[in-house]
Chain A
């Protein structure tokens, strides 16, 4: 049994791989000491090897992990497992967004990651949802249902929040603003994809891929390709790490 554990900026994800399939998984808040959270999740298992990924990967290696890979490599491995022919991957996590080109063997051949700011990330959506008094689940659904939208110009989380506040105070319905927030993230992802280049199938992973409006808007911006989402998009990195553990440990 092999375990992949993804210590992300917002949550810790664990995937348990028995050599043939994912037999168990867990997701929990990262908390103040993500490695302690991870250790708690691991305590019920006696794996052959544990490979860590995500922001806390090096911390995990200090405490318990047998190996470390970046979340870029981990997501590529996870997506290759789900969609072996897919050569392009968009991963939007809590703290950053990435577009990754994968070769026919599931190896990373190129990638781009957002620069030093939170725009276009899960955290950005979370902050905007908060300022519109939506829960995260309501946020995506309301945006998806909205038939109208306004334009958000700012890409900076701080400025975009001021922009959202001024829209609220102009009496614009919050669903329209929610739609605009989602559109601004989708535009940013589409621009990153255009820079990197993409194949006929684009896989969408990371926690933000659970948001139906983000998936729909990304598909809308890429009409010529098929956007696919794995069953547990937020577990893609953990699964990739588990697969890596099975391969090398």
Chain B
């Protein structure tokens, strides 16, 4: 366990104009955090070695791949949201990376400029750029933002002064005229990506990219359904980790690795290997995304002897539950198929959003969980308010339910530990 290290690449960081001494400290801290949270877990699948290595290489190996792609003239685009159609970036030969935004470490840097009382994810992401402590942020050609919340859409205006930031308008309703606007936005996105890539995306390019992305989603769906087995063959922490890595790894390689892991998990289920043990209380998490390295809730729940078996979240099922129709042909029809798939994502920024309420209950049943922890980042108004409807649905269905509103700071760990343990006691009685 002590041998784990997130590998340093100071020459790469220097070339990316990063704050090298500061970043190196963060690297050591994250390495310790990772070793403590992940490497001591009992009965870890052997195939997790690949994902451990993805963390060890997060600040170097993967960054070098991005830089190599850029040297070949391929675009590298940073995003913050599951509504940006990755297929278009892949079709242009480019790379799509989810940017850093899950750490308390960069929040003070953001608070020098942004207001304090806004979403911690927005602050953390902004702080990573402002302090030059995220190699991905430094490496991207541009950032593609969206209008899924007020904090983000106004922050893009400020972020644009540090890194070129384009914005896709995501509507707030799903009426036909909203979808028509959305489809135009998808076309604009394609034009933007094509202009940076210096090539026109062909139907074949897009069809290939759709297959790649669908295969990646299928692999994640497979992993999710294996986690639903009782007893579950993999910890919730490892499940979440893979969902987080999905946002920056090379998609074809990632898909192969997830499938290999799933083969191992199939075998474990046959041999009845249980993580963390048979009879552990099964908990499902719903709500806002947990961006790397935010493992706060998972650490608490699994530290108390329970296991998380499903994340109903953007870094979770919202990212992979829907596929794009692979049968359509003709560029306009294919782009419409993309819009159709992306509009199925049930983010709380939409109104009404009844689909999500039934989706939460469905995932609870599918995952054979015994209770739901609904997690919302502080100041995330839409998820915080939608909490009321999720709670009502859980009351109606008799589902044990707890709501947690928190941010990335450790100051509420004691209270949260009490709440999580009391919730597990409540489920156990």
Does B272 sit within 8 A of A, measured CB to CB? no
B420: nearest chain-A partner, CB-CB: A70
Q: How far is the CB of B106 from chain A (nearest CB, A)?
A: 20
Cβ–Cβ < 8 Å partners of B411 in chain A: 116
Cβ–Cβ < 8 Å partners of A71 in chain B: 418, 422
Q: Are A107 and B429 in contact (CB under 8 A)?
A: yes
Does A90 sit within 8 A of B, measured CB to CB? no
Give the residue of B412, B422, B425 whose beta carbon is less than 8 angstroms from that of A115. B412
Q: List which B136-187 residues lie within 8 A (CB) of chain A.
A: none
Query: Whole-angstrom distance between the alpha carbons of A72 and B426 in the complex?
Result: 10
Cβ–Cβ < 8 Å partners of B415 in chain A: 95-96, 113-116
Query: Whole-angstrom distance between the alpha carbons of A115 and B426 in the complex?
Result: 19
List 19 A-B pairs, Cβ < 8 Å.
A55-B414, A70-B418, A70-B421, A70-B422, A72-B422, A72-B425, A73-B422, A95-B414, A96-B415, A107-B426, A107-B429, A108-B422, A108-B429, A111-B419, A113-B419, A114-B415, A115-B415, A116-B406, A116-B411
Cβ–Cβ < 8 Å partners of A108 in chain B: 422, 425-426, 429
Does B326 sit within 8 A of A, measured CB to CB? no
B391: nearest chain-A partner, CB-CB: A195
Query: Whole-angstrom distance between the alpha carbons of A111 and B371 in the complex?
Result: 14
Q: List which B75-128 residues lie within 8 A (CB) of chain A.
A: none
Query: Whole-angstrom distance between the alpha carbons of A95 and B415 in the complex?
Result: 9
Query: Whole-angstrom distance between the alpha carbons of A224 and B152 in the complex?
Result: 46
Give the residue of A55, A70, A111, A116 whose beta carbon is less than 8 angstroms from that of B412. A116
Q: Which 3 A-B pairs have the closest CB atoms?
A: A116-B412, A72-B422, A70-B422
Cβ–Cβ < 8 Å partners of B263 in chain A: none
Cβ–Cβ < 8 Å partners of B425 in chain A: 69-70, 72-73, 108
Does A109 sit within 8 A of B, measured CB to CB? yes
Query: Whole-angstrom distance between the alpha carbons of A95 and B412 in the complex?
Result: 11
Query: Whole-angstrom distance between the alpha carbons of A95 and B405 in the complex?
Result: 17
Query: Whole-angstrom distance between the alpha carbons of A95 and B215 in the complex?
Result: 49
Cβ–Cβ < 8 Å partners of A55 in chain B: 414, 418
* Interface membership of chain A positions 131-149, coded 1 if the CB is closer than 8 angstroms to chain B and 0 otherwise: 0000000000000000000
Determine which residue in B412, B421, B426 has the highest number of CB atoms from chain A within 10 A of its CB, and name it: B426
Query: Whole-angstrom distance between the alpha carbons of A73 and B428 in the complex?
Result: 12
Interface, chain B (partner A; CB < 8 A): 405-406, 411-412, 414-415, 418-419, 421-422, 425-426, 429
Does A48 sit within 8 A of B, measured CB to CB? no
Does A26 sit within 8 A of B, measured CB to CB? no
A55: nearest chain-B partner, CB-CB: B414
Query: Whole-angstrom distance between the alpha carbons of A228 and B178 in the complex?
Result: 56
Q: How far is the CB of A57 from chain B (nearest CB, A)?
A: 9
Determine which residue in B405, B414, B418 has the highest number of CB atoms from chain A within 10 A of its CB, and name it: B418
Cβ–Cβ < 8 Å partners of B406 in chain A: 115-116
Query: Whole-angstrom distance between the alpha carbons of A109 and B415 in the complex?
Result: 19
Q: How far is the CB of B231 from chain A (nearest CB, A)?
A: 24
Query: Whole-angstrom distance between the alpha carbons of A73 and B427 in the complex?
Result: 12
Q: How far is the CB of A188 from chain B (nearest CB, A)?
A: 15
Determine which residue in A70, A111, A114 has the highest number of CB atoms from chain B within 10 A of its CB, and name it: A70
Q: How far is the CB of B59 from chain A (nearest CB, A)?
A: 30
Q: How far is the CB of A119 from chain B (nearest CB, A)?
A: 13
Query: Whole-angstrom distance between the alpha carbons of A70 and B422 in the complex?
Result: 6
B418: nearest chain-A partner, CB-CB: A70
Give the residue of B405, B414, B422, B429 whose beta carbon is less than 8 angstroms from that of A111. B422
Q: How far is the CB of B236 from chain A (nearest CB, A)?
A: 21
Does A110 sit within 8 A of B, measured CB to CB? yes
Cβ–Cβ < 8 Å partners of A96 in chain B: 415, 418
Query: Whole-angstrom distance between the alpha carbons of A110 and B400 in the complex?
Result: 8
Q: Are B405 and A110 in contact (CB under 8 A)?
A: no
Query: Whole-angstrom distance between the alpha carbons of A71 and B421 in the complex?
Result: 10
Determine which residue in B412, B422, B425 has the highest number of CB atoms from chain A within 10 A of its CB, and name it: B422
Query: Whole-angstrom distance between the alpha carbons of A109 and B402 in the complex?
Result: 11
Query: Whole-angstrom distance between the alpha carbons of A113 and B405 in the complex?
Result: 11
Determine which residue in A73, A111, A116 has the highest number of CB atoms from chain B within 10 A of its CB, and name it: A116
Query: Whole-angstrom distance between the alpha carbons of A115 and B422 in the complex?
Result: 15
Cβ–Cβ < 8 Å partners of B412 in chain A: 115-116
Query: Whole-angstrom distance between the alpha carbons of A108 and B427 in the complex?
Result: 9
Q: List which A7-37 residues lie within 8 A (CB) of chain B.
A: none
Q: Are B426 and A113 in contact (CB under 8 A)?
A: no
